[in-house]
Amino acid sequence: MDKYKDLKTIANNMRINIIKMLSRAQSGHPGGSLSACEILATLYFKEMNIDPKNPHWEDRDRFVLSKGHGAPVLYAALAEKGYFSKEELKSLRKIDSMLQGHPDMKGTPGVDMTTGSLGQGLSAVNGMALAGKVDKKDYRVYALIGDGEVQEGIIWEAAMFAAHHKLDNITVFLDHNGLQIDGFNKDVMDIEPIDDKFKSFGWHVINIDGHSFEEIIKAIDEAKLTKGKPTMIIAKTIKGKGVSFMENQAGWHGKAPSEEETRKALDELGGGIID
């Protein structure tokens, strides 16, 4: 028996809805959305203490999608969890839709922080985590950042802050798929050795396979046991995961699939057709 069967089904459903959303909208970012499905499926369906019926519950765990262009994966998770109807996914990037190209905390139930300008999400995470410490709350703050994003100076300012204030209620995932809009990280601006960098900034660092539920869950458990330091989980992932012709292709960072490509992707995912 596969003990992760339910999570695998959820992650696959999220991938199907990501493809459908982007196909309808004919714009958006598939590559870095598809790479993070296992991470968000684990957080929203196993780990985080949240209530879709009460999205502003003060004691909830928080999640910040710092790489805000990956909004489709967040919307897919929120819809799957029941924060809003899956019918809303059809309105991605439409005028007056609650689902814009980047997350909006004022417009979308379940979004804890508006993001889009790369790097700024981690600073918001610090504020949430520090507030939790000051208020003596036991909620945790989770975040997802991207490879290209860690080239931003603000990430490292936030990293220093979190370590200095011993914000051990922070767990950040790096979606380490090795690619960004202009190509491979190593060609644009090499970020390696990324684990040593975060360690030197005072973080507890864990390296995992970002598509393994077992490793994701184990890393989260380790982060919760780590005291006095924030935790960075470097999750090795595949950009475009689950759709063969999108995998490891920088060109799929921010391009929507055509009708034919959509059919091919949905065939691979077992997702039928767009209704």
pLDDT (average), residues 226-243: 98
Which run of H or E residues covers position 20?
helix 5-25
pLDDT (average), residues 52-57: 97
Taking the C-alpha atoms of residue 38 and residue 10, their distance in angstroms, rounded to an integer, is: 9
List, in order, residues 6 or more apart from 6 with CB less than 8 Å away.
45
- pTM comes to 0.97
Confidence of residue 200 (pLDDT cuts 50, 70, 90): very high
Task: Identify whether 91 is part of a domain.
Answer: yes
CA nearest to 75, candidates 29, 124, 123 = 29
List, in order, residues 6 or more apart from 248 with CB less than 8 Å away.
177, 178, 179, 238, 239, 240
Task: Identify whether 31 is part of a domain.
Answer: yes
Alpha-helical runs (H) found in 135-251: 153-164, 185-188, 194-200, 213-225
**What does the pLDDT look like over 157-191, one tens digit per residue?**
999 999 999 999 999 999 999 999 999 999 999 99
Task: Identify whether 172 is part of a domain.
Answer: yes
**What does the pLDDT look like over 183-193, one tens digit per residue?**
999 999 999 99
* Distances from the Cα of 264 to the Cα of 32, 259, 268, 273, angstroms: 19, 9, 6, 10
Looking at the 3D structure of the chain, how many domains does it have? 1
Task: Identify whether 275 is part of a domain.
Answer: no
Task: Identify whether 274 is part of a domain.
Answer: no
Alpha-helical runs (H) found in 67-175: 71-81, 120-134, 153-164
The domain that holds 172 is classified in CATH as: 3.40.50.970
Confidence of residue 218 (pLDDT cuts 50, 70, 90): very high
Residue 116, judged by CB atoms within 10 A of its CB (0-12, 13-18, 19+), counts as middle
Task: Identify whether 153 is part of a domain.
Answer: yes
Task: Identify whether 254 is part of a domain.
Answer: yes
Q: In terms of residue numbers, what domain contains 202?
A: 5-269
